[in-house]
Amino acid sequence: MENKLEQGKIFMEYAVQVSTIAVPFIAFIALIVAIWQIKAGRNAAQRAAAYTIYQAYLKLAMDNPMFSSPDKEKIMSNKEILSRYKWYVSNMLLSFEEILLISHRQTDWKTALESQLKTHAWYLVNSSSVRRGDWKPGLRLLIAEVLEREVGRRDLARISRQEFLKYINGAN
């Protein structure tokens, strides 16, 4: 009987030693999993917000085909239409700025946003908000790249690559 008690005592001491080592290790693994889940949840929420913003922009575009596929001469020849078009473009730029702020490390939005900016490059080249640099660096860089390709003017969006790199690294 004493032998069994001694074996039980030895087993319990061994179990205590193992658990002393295992508990912090298990807690560390649980912490890593929790951090990963928080980041995954945040990324999913950001992606959903960006899609919601873009979906609202697409609805605006479908509701305003004259502006989503603009006829420059028609728009420029009518002050009322031009005024409405300016607000349409402002709404588009604000939507794109928000999308870029939410998902600035995700490059999958770039093509979609560039294609829309390209459609409106003829207006953006003369836009006072673009010339003043009213938009955040991410959008200004995207506009600059589009204007450089479409009309040969990068300078209008007032952004340097260094400024953009500071922006994405959190300096602004």
Confidence of residue 15 (pLDDT cuts 50, 70, 90): confident
Q: Does the pLDDT at position 17 exceed 80?
A: no
What's phi and psi for 133, nearest 5 deg? 75, 35
Give the model's pLDDT for residue 166: 64
Question: What pLDDT shows up at residue 153?
Answer: 66
Q: What is the DSSP string of 54-84?
A: HHHHHHHHHH-HHHHTT-HHHHHT-HHHHHH
Mean model confidence pLDDT for the chain: 84
Distance between CA atoms of residues 142 and 164, nearest Å: 10
What pLDDT digit, counting tens, does each position of 87-133 carry?
999 999 999 999 998 886 667 888 899 999 999 999 998 899 988 88
Give the number of other CB atoms < 10 A from CB of residue 67. 23
Sorted by sequence, the CB contacts under 8 Å of residue 147 that are 6+ apart come out as: 121, 124, 125, 153, 154, 156, 157
